[in-house]
Structure 1
Amino acid sequence: MERAVDWMPDIVDLVLYLLGGLSVIVWSIILIKSWAWYQSRRASTHFLAECQQVQTIYELPKLISGSQSSFARLCDAGMRAMSAVMANAVLRKNERHEVILLSLKQQAYLEHKRMDGGVAVLASIGATAPFIGLFGTVWGIMNALRTITATGSAGLDVVAGPIGEALIATAIGIATAVPAVLAYNYFMRMQKEHRADLEQVASHFQSLLTQSGLEG
């Protein structure tokens, strides 16, 4: 029994180290993705404003070349697809339209995926961290009860250590989960807005293409 008592606190320590590592991962993802979104929005704001002022599709190449935004890459994919279908005399009008539309959809998916990295990790940590902390809490209480059984004493000096570790595990589990969940919700909202903007730019590109008559 004494051997089990000596070994069990190591499990609580392992839980604390695990939660500490998860917390580092959470804050690393938050900082990296926040910087990525800041750069993306800074590059995209000007492009979105200028894109709405474009009247013909021939104005897009100049706008695309001066931007590093995901919306510029989307339009660039559309321009490259347009050049390819216009060089193919075999394709009919509706087929050309479908090829260009498919190219826009594929690029939009790539841009969405580019900004999606790490979000699933936040969701997983936010969902599991409290339970990992609870596991540490339960184990700490079990260790306290085993200590009482082994020593025959329920004094504060006997149970304070194991109970303290148990409560710390719970606190760290919650402290890890809360920022993960909040960051997940924030980045998902950003993703939703980004997807809507991609769809808006793709629709504007198709409108310019139709007005130019290049589909046919």
Structure 2
Amino acid sequence: MEQPVGFAHYWAQGDAVSHAVAYALLLMSIASWYYILSKTWSSWRIRRSSNALDGFWKAPTLTDAIAVMRTVDSEEIFIPLAQRSSEAAGISSKQSAPSPSLNAATDPGELITRTLRREINRVSARLERGLTLLASVGSTAPFVGLFGTVWGIYHALAAVSASGTVQIDKVAGPVGEALIMTALGLVVAIPAVLAYNAFTRLNRLTLAELDGFAHDLHAYLTTGERVGKGEA
């Protein structure tokens, strides 16, 4: 009676090394898909909140502008820049009093610039979280699958050497296991690579908007005007 040949059949024929390779690919896939799904949801919310910049500059006062942005910026990408820079401007406006800290003794423009740069760095670190893992999975998963392929071919050659003749039933199992490992490596790597490229592009757009927003905030807080707009 012919026995059904499938993944369970190849799994039963595998040894500890091939099972370890399969488990490693499974863990890599779970980790990459966790970041793919979570960052997809986060990126969608970030792109939706980019419209808050228009509402920010249409508000009558800075306090109202921050309140409007807080209701839209659910991922808190743009709001930290507005809050921290306005706080820095408040510190620098009190320089007539004895300086209680180094911040209060710093030039107002320099203090605001430093605050904006620090917040952009924090946001950038948040946006890049998980990208290293996706890049690592995308670059290493095919090689992990290739290792499983080489191990399966080794089993096939060992079976042929032990039997002394090339028999299809001795070779089919290890070769099938090798091909499955190759496919699993590609299945794990391809989504990670595509997601990494997509998130990198979205992060580049978000950081460009952050940089422009920080430039406008700096101009407003130091001169009372928005660059290119002439808004008082």
- Name the TM-score class by shorter chain: 0.7 to 0.9
**1:93 CA displacement:** 10
- Between stretches 13-22 and 137-146, larger displacement belongs to 13-22
What amino acid is aligned across from residue 219 of structure 2 in structure 1?
S
Partner of 1:110: 122
Higher normalized helix content (fraction of residues): 1
Match of 2:65 among 60, 80, 86: 60
The CA deviation string for residues 165-193 of structure 1, in whole angstroms up to 9 with x for no partner, is 10110111011111100000001011101
Partner of 2:47: 41
Is 1:182 the counterpart of 2:198? The answer is no
**Structure 2: 5+ residue runs without aligned partners?**
1-12, 226-232
The CA deviation string for residues 135-188 of structure 1, in whole angstroms up to 9 with x for no partner, is 111111011111111122311100101000101101110111111000000010
Which ranges of 4 or more aligned residues in structure 1 deviate by more than 4 Å?
Answer: 54-59, 90-94
Q: TM-score, normalised by structure 1?
A: 0.86
- Between stretches 119-128 and 49-58, larger displacement belongs to 49-58
Match of 2:208 among 186, 196, 201: 196
Partner of 2:113: 101
Q: In 1, distance between residues paired with 2:80 and 2:209?
A: 13
Q: TM-score, normalised by structure 2?
A: 0.80
Contact 1:134 1:170 in 2 (8 A): yes
What amino acid is aligned across from residue 125 of structure 1 in structure 2?
V
**Structure 1: 5+ residue runs without aligned partners?**
1-6
Contact 1:104 1:202 in 2 (8 A): yes
Partner of 2:152: 140
Q: In 2, distance between residues paired with 1:93 and 1:207?
A: 20
CA change 1:58–1:197 in 2 (3 A) is same
The CA deviation string for residues 92-128 of structure 1, in whole angstroms up to 9 with x for no partner, is 9982100111000101111111122111000000000
CA change 1:78–1:92 in 2 (3 A) is closer
Match of 1:88 among 95, 98, 102: 95
The CA deviation string for residues 17-66 of structure 1, in whole angstroms up to 9 with x for no partner, is 21122112111110011111122233x23312213435764653443454
Q: CA RMSD in A?
A: 2.5
